Chains A and B, each alone.
Chain A
Amino acid sequence: MADRVLMTGNDALGEGAIRAGCDAYFGYPITPQNELTAYMAVNMLRLGRVFIQAESELAAINMVFGAAAAGKRAMTSSSSPGISLKQEGISFIAAAELPAVIVNVQRGGPGLGNIAPAQGDYFQATRGGGHGDYRTIVLAPDSAQEMHDLTFDAFALADRYRSPVIILSDGRLGQMMEPIVLHKGPPPPVPPKPWALTGAKGRPANMIRSLIMEDGALEKHNIHLQAKFKRILKEVVRYEERETADADVLLVAYGTSARIAKGAVIQARSQGIKAGLLRPLTLWPYPHARLRALAPRLKGIVVIEMSAGQMLEDVQLAVGGSVPIAFVGRMGGGVPEERAVLAAIRRFAKPARRRSRP
């Protein structure tokens, strides 16, 4: 049995970043992700890598811009309000096509909100919270293990597509300890970065910029970006399926909500209801196609979120009204309960026999 270690999600993600070759980390205090910043402070400095506690989340994302411009693997982490402060920076990073990893350990919102887990930043993350036509790859872990593992994917995807990648987590995932297996082996290989700013020695000077004023030039740049996003749509979609082969009621959920959905599937199956789960691991690009493929066999879909219903719209987009959708949501840091999910499932499928003790 591989050696397992008990870690909070925040620490697991920090260790993942370090093993994935993160050269530079820039943070700022905000609950519920402070443990990640503290973890990076200890370990980045121990390894002689770059760590700065910035004067604001806004400064931190611009430091990520700088480190990435210098050809380094850079990461910042924050929580909802702090991520709002980073949106301009993320738009600049996307426009300048710089690789970067941004971690959002979501908390209750809007406004100062609270420090409980939430998923109310889905639109911001998947639709692009800053200005201009850009998208960011969004990964959604649902366990300390995935907080660790998806960090490798985040850095690899950031470098492969020269794009900001968001890891969308939440306060529960960050704070809760779970046994994980630490990633062995080398970090994802770093591609050559001839565009990086390292000093114009033996080559012409490089520019990293997003002000493109020449006539028609910015549109050309946008066309180039859109082509990249199309490639990402084709190549990067990831999701997990549980018991969908014969399911006639499909649960759709990510992150903490998916953990609850997994329990609900087991409960429903024990009551003879053929329930299944589709769990997106990438929230952008979203698995619309897979959902569309499953839709014809379904009597109903149950979407579970810790928000007023944001991923809900992607599900609606995918099935286009062809399947009735029930929504189980909690806001302001509330966490959906399995009972509520089971009640929603029963709207589409009756239990085959009396409730039996599992």
Chain B
Amino acid sequence: MSDAPRKAGSRTIRSLYRRPAALKDTPTHYCPGCGHGTVHKLLAEVLDTLGIRERTIGIAPVGCAVRAYYYLNCDISEAAHGRAPAVACAIKRCLPDRIVFSYQGDGDLAAIGMGETIHAANRGENITVVFVNNTVYGMTGGQMAPTTLTGQRTSTTPGGRDAVSTGGPLHICELLNTLDGPWHIERVALDGPAGVRRTRKALTTAFQAQIDGKGYSLIEVLSPCPVHMHLPPVDAMRFVKEQMVASFPVKIFRQEGKRLA
């Protein structure tokens, strides 16, 4: 996003990147290097680029991102843990010309809220789900989440997650891809600048689909959680690139309503 070029003799100054207008000025509470901040920024950019901030209603999850309404400058409602898709569906049905997104973490979406996740997708509800997968419950101290990697250490898998007693990481995109309802399902990763650009593009695709009334879209964003990955931010980003992507392939699963192989 950039402002109009400013003339100064033959010298012009053009802005190449600005903090998105849809992002409030308050600095976030997220930990240094946390992917939520990045997703908020990209989400705000998309709201600006598509010109939909004033008719967008967001649902914040229970989790680190519950405070999204302090950062995103659009109408936002909290939802009980796991119930954001239900809240979002109702709002969209009541206000079909508004843009509605459900912003959720892995515990919210894939553990307690799995029922709501699957049924909103199965109904093909014309909403956009922004699913930030950082493999742990962040706000509550880094417990195992449905997407915790096998062998990954968390406060509730001190010896590393073992498949025998806890099962393996849960693949939401693949799961929802078996349903007929969804229009767009894509997984991206905040594993570097290219991954960020790809996330921006994916979010734009999803929100554009909703604007066009095409139906349910979900973007799963593999995201670093430095504190509970016990890594400094740069290494956490590498963890996403090397460990998470290996377990969660980055690709488009559903495009324009059609399953991709």
Give me the interface of A with B, judged by CB distance under 8 Å: 23-24, 26, 50, 52, 54-56, 58-60, 62-67, 69-70, 72, 74, 88-89, 92, 96, 197-202, 205-211
Question: How far is the CB of B131 from the nearest CB of chain A, in Å?
Answer: 18
B5-13, B91-99, B151-159, B250-258: which lies at the interface:
B91-99
A221 to chain B: closest CB distance in Å?
A: 14
* Complex CA–CA separation, A65 to B94 (angstroms): 12
Interface status of B80 (Cβ within 8 A of chain A): yes
Q: What is the minimal beta-carbon distance from B109 to any residue of chain A, in angstroms? A: 14
Q: Whole-angstrom distance between the alpha carbons of A23 and B94 in the complex?
A: 8
Are B73 and A62 in contact, with the CB atoms below 8 A? no
Contact B80 A89 (CB under 8 A): yes
State the CA gap A331–B88 with chains docked (Å): 40
Q: Which of A26, A55, A60, A62 has the most B CB atoms < 10 Å from its CB?
A: A62
With beta carbons under 8 angstroms apart, the residue of B66, B77, B119 that contacts A66 is: B77
Task: Give the CA-CA distance A66 to B72 in the complex, in Å.
Answer: 19
Q: Within 8 Å CB of B73, what residues of A?
A: 200, 205
Contact indicator A208/B83 (Cβ below 8 Å): no
Question: Max chain A CB contacts within 10 Å: which of B60, B90, B98?
Answer: B90
Given contacts A56-B115, A207-B76, contact A62 B87 (CB under 8 A): yes
Q: Can you name 16 extra interface pairs (CB under 8 A) apart from A62-B79, A201-B55?
A: A23-B94, A52-B90, A52-B93, A55-B116, A55-B118, A65-B83, A69-B87, A74-B90, A88-B80, A198-B57, A199-B75, A199-B98, A200-B74, A205-B69, A205-B72, A206-B76
Measured CA separation A54–B60 after assembly (Å): 20
Whether B161 sits at the interface, judged by CB under 8 Å, is: no
State how many angstroms separate the Cβ of A285 from the closest Cβ of chain B: 27
Bound: A218/B161 CA distance, A: 37
The distance in angstroms between the C-alpha atoms of A241 and B153, with both chains bound, is 66
In angstroms, Cα B38 to Cα A311, docked, is: 54
For B92, the closest partner residue in chain A by CB is A66
Mask: chain B, 110-143; 1 = CB below 8 Å from A; 0 = not:
0000011011000100000000000000000000
Asked if A67 and B91 make an inter-chain contact with CB atoms under 8 angstroms apart, the answer reads yes
Smallest CB–CB gap between B139 and chain A, Å? Answer: 11
Tell whether B56 is near chain A: CB-to-CB under 8 Å.
yes
B40 at the interface (CB under 8 A from A): no
Partner of B57 from A74, A89, A197 at Cβ < 8 Å: A197
Q: Which residues of A contact B95 (CB under 8 A)?
A: 70, 198-199
- With a CB–CB cut-off of 8 A, which chain B residues contact A56? 115
**18 A-B contacts (beta carbon < 8 Å):** A59-B86, A59-B119, A60-B86, A64-B90, A66-B59, A66-B79, A66-B91, A67-B90, A70-B57, A89-B83, A198-B57, A198-B98, A199-B57, A200-B74, A201-B54, A205-B72, A205-B75, A208-B76
- Write out the residue numbers on chain A whose beta carbons fall within 8 Å of the beta carbon of B75: 197-200, 205-207
For B57, give the chain A residue with the smallest CB separation: A197
- Determine if A69 and B77 form an interchain contact, defined as CB atoms under 8 angstroms apart: yes
B174 is an interface residue with CB less than 8 A from chain A: no
Interface readout for B46-69 with A: 1 if CB under 8 Å, 0 if not? Answer: 000000011111011010001001
Closest CB of chain B to A242's CB: distance in Å?
Answer: 42
Chain A residue at minimum C-beta to C-beta distance from B88: A66
| 6 pairs of A and B residues whose beta carbons are closest in the complex | A66-B90, A66-B87, A62-B83, A63-B90, A55-B119, A199-B55
Say yes or no: A70-B79 contact (C-beta < 8 A), given A59-B116, A63-B86: no
Verify if B89 is at the interface (C-beta below 8 Å from A): yes
A211–B57 Cα distance when bound, in Å, is 18
Residues in A with CB closer than 8 Å to B116 are 55, 59, 62
* A200 and B83 contact, Cβ closer than 8 Å, known pairs A52-B89, A66-B90, A72-B94: no
Query: Cα distance A23–B93 when bound, in Å?
Result: 10
- A26 close to B90 (CB less than 8 A): yes
A72 to B93, CA, bound (A): 11
**How many angstroms from the CA of A63 to the CA of B91 in the assembled complex?**
8
Q: Closest residue to A204 on the B side, CB-wise?
A: B73
Are A70 and B94 interface neighbours, CB within 8 A? yes
- Is there contact, CB below 8 Å, between A66 and B86? yes
Cβ-defined partner of A24 (8 Å) among B62, B83, B93, B119: B93
A210 touches B78 (CB 8 A): yes
In whole angstroms, how far apart are the Cα atoms of A96 and B91 in the complex?
16
Q: Which residues of A contact B88 (CB under 8 A)?
A: 66
> In whole Å, how far is A63's beta carbon from the nearest beta carbon of chain B?
4
Contact between chains at A65 and B55 (CB < 8 Å): no
The smallest C-beta distance from A131 to any residue of chain B, in angstroms, reads: 11
User: Which residues of chain A are within 8 angstroms of B74 by Cβ–Cβ distance?
Assistant: 199-200, 205
Contact A205 B76 (CB under 8 A): yes
- A92–B91 touching, CB < 8 Å: no
In the complex, which residues of chain A have a beta carbon less than 8 angstroms from the beta carbon of B83? Answer: 58-59, 62, 65, 89
Complex CA distance for A58 and B83, rounded to whole angstroms: 8
Give the CA-CA distance A70 to B53 in the complex, in Å.
16
Residue of A nearest to B83 (CB): A62
Inter-chain contact A70/B119, CB cutoff 8 Å: no
Answer whether A207 and B69 are a contact pair too, CB < 8 Å, given A198-B95, A199-B57.
Answer: yes
Alpha-carbon separation in the docked complex, A74 to B185 (Å) = 31
Which B163-195 residues sit within 8 Å CB-CB of chain A? none
- Which of A23, A26, A208 interacts with B77 by CB under 8 Å? A208
Residues in A with CB closer than 8 Å to B62 are 211
Measured CB to CB, the closest approach of chain B to A76, in angstroms, equals 10
Chain B residues whose C-beta falls within 8 Å of the C-beta of A92 in the assembled complex: 78, 80
